[in-house]
């Protein structure tokens, strides 16, 4: 039994255990054609708006979240936050828990980073999105952040998905780089099936044979997802780029293809960043990006 979008729903599934199916009400014994149900726009036709600290994602206005890859220092973050707000960003991003390929790389500041994020957020007036990596940290992160990010490497960490579902906080769900569009929708279904309908799906590039970019942004897959679901769609142009010169064309491409939100890495001094230094935009590049995004958004009948 799920309480979601003001409704009480019971979902039956062909291969559920028989004992689970017994206590199911009649109207829910629908044999759905697709493996996902609550995320499908066949079930909920109107677009869902996700409210993050007063910022609405999924409406006509395109939302831009910006900030450094990782929270490193309060002064630097304050400088970046003010700059991205001035340029038009409406959400601040920054990692306190960093999923790093190597155990010897900088792993983030943890709760210290969350506290910095919170203070900067309040000082500058931008809600905050930050990543959580462990089921045990969900409540802690929720107490500091306005939106929780599930990163690409945890996109099929099903116990974590259930936990953020139960936490009832807006979730930015990155697509795993080895994940199909259907699996991505099913990962969101895990969150919704716990009663949390505030999910934004974020394309961030898949892994392909092509290595001239860090990942291959799957614009077509993003469009397919948008055709299937009522949830808002975001794009992260920074991670597939792997190189700051590519961020702008990928961001523009995502917007005209239908993205409702962008999440962009910006740093006051990218070359000194402790992670992802190659792909973080300078503040000047971000300002230029925002101008071009505004022009293109207007051309497709949206705003930023």
Q: Between residue 38 and residue 67, which ones bind its own copies under the rule CB under 8 A?
A: none
The DSSP element (H or E) to which 249 belongs, if any, is helix 244-256
Please tell me whether residue 82 binds its own copies under the rule CB under 8 A. Answer: no
Please tell me whether residue 303 binds its own copies under the rule CB under 8 A. Answer: no
Report the DSSP beta bridge partners of residue 202.
Answer: 174, 234
Applying CB under 8 A, among 68, 127, 176, 270 the residue interacting with its own copies is 176
Any long-range contacts for 221-228 (C-beta under 8 Å, 24+ apart)?
Answer: 221/175, 221/181, 222/254, 222/257, 222/258, 222/259, 223/257, 223/258, 224/181, 225/181, 225/184, 225/185, 225/201, 226/258, 227/41, 228/34, 228/39, 228/40, 228/41, 228/181, 228/185
What does the alpha-carbon distance between residue 232 and residue 241 come to, in Å, rounded to a whole number?
22
How many residues lie near its own copies (CB under 8 A)? Answer: 78
Please tell me whether residue 4 binds its own copies under the rule CB under 8 A. Answer: no
Q: How far is the CB of 198 from its own copies (least distance, A)?
A: 17
Please tell me whether residue 86 binds its own copies under the rule CB under 8 A. Answer: no
Phi, psi of 192 (to 5 degrees): -65, -35
Applying CB under 8 A, among 59, 79, 82, 106 the residue interacting with its own copies is 106
Applying CB under 8 A, among 7, 49, 256, 272 the residue interacting with its own copies is 256
Q: How far is the CB of 11 from its own copies (least distance, A)?
A: 6
Applying CB under 8 A, among 1, 30, 123, 299 the residue interacting with its own copies is 299
Binding pattern to its own copies, positions 116-155, x when CB under 8 A?
A: -----------------xxxx----------------xx-
The DSSP element (H or E) to which 123 belongs, if any, is helix 111-124
Applying CB under 8 A, among 181, 202, 263, 266 the residue interacting with its own copies is 181
Residues 223 and 257: beta-carbon distance below 8 Å:
yes
Q: How far is the CB of 80 from its own copies (least distance, A)?
A: 20
Please tell me whether residue 218 binds its own copies under the rule CB under 8 A. Answer: yes
Please tell me whether residue 23 binds its own copies under the rule CB under 8 A. Answer: no
The piece of 42-50, 73-81, 140-148, 289-297 that touches its own copies (CB under 8 A) is: 289-297
What does the alpha-carbon distance between residue 164 and residue 166 come to, in Å, rounded to a whole number?
5
Largest Cα separation within the chain, whole Å, is: 60
Q: Judged by CB, which is closer to its own copies: 12, or 78?
A: 12
Q: Judged by CB, which is closer to its own copies: 90, or 157?
A: 157
SS3 assignment, position 66: strand
What does the alpha-carbon distance between residue 213 and residue 211 come to, in Å, rounded to a whole number?
5
Applying CB under 8 A, among 25, 60, 105, 143 the residue interacting with its own copies is 105
Q: Judged by CB, which is closer to its own copies: 14, or 54?
A: 14
Residues 219 and 204: beta-carbon distance below 8 Å:
no
Applying CB under 8 A, among 8, 112, 168, 211 the residue interacting with its own copies is 211
Q: Which of 159, 170, 167 is nearest to 138 (CA)?
A: 167
The piece of 34-42, 76-84, 116-124, 142-150 that touches its own copies (CB under 8 A) is: 34-42
Applying CB under 8 A, among 81, 96, 241, 289 the residue interacting with its own copies is 241
Please tell me whether residue 180 binds its own copies under the rule CB under 8 A. Answer: yes
- The full length of the chain comes to 304
């Amino acid at each position: 039994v799920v309480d979601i979008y003001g409704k009480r729903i019971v979902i039956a599934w062909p291969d559920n255990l028989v004992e689970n199916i017994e206590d199911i009400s009649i109207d829910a014994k629908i044999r759905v054609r697709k493996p996902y149900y609550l995320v499908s726009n066949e079930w909920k036709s109107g677009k869902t708006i996700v409210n993050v600290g007063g910022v609405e994602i999924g409406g006509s206005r395109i939302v831009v979240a910006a900030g450094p890859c990782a929270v490193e220092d309060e002064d630097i973050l304050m400088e970046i936050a003010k700059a991205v707000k001035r340029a038009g960003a409406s959400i601040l991003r920054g990692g306190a828990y960093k999923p790093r390929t190597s155990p010897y790389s900088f792993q983030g500041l943890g709760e210290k980073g969350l506290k910095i994020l919170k203070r900067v957020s309040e000082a500058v007036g931008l809600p905050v999105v930050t990543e959580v990596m462990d089921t045990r940290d969900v409540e802690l992160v929720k107490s500091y952040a306005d939106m929780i990010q599930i990163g690409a490497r945890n996109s099929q960490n099903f116990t974590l998905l259930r936990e953020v579902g139960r936490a009832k906080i807006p979730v930015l769900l990155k697509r795993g780089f080895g994940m199909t569009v259907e699996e991505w929708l099913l990962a969101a279904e895990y969150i919704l099936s716990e009663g949390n309908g505030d999910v934004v799906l974020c394309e961030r590039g898949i892994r392909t044979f092509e290595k001239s970019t860090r990942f291959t942004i799957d614009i077509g897959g993003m469009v397919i997802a948008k055709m299937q679901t009522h949830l808002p769609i975001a794009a992260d142009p920074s991670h597939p780029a792997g190189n700051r010169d590519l961020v702008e064309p990928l961001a523009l491409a995502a917007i005209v293809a239908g993205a409702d939100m962008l999440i962009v890495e910006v740093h006051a001094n990218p070359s000194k960043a402790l992670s992802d230094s190659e792909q973080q935009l300078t503040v000047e590049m971000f300002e230029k990006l925002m101008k071009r995004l505004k022009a293109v958004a207007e051309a497709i009948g949206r705003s930023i």
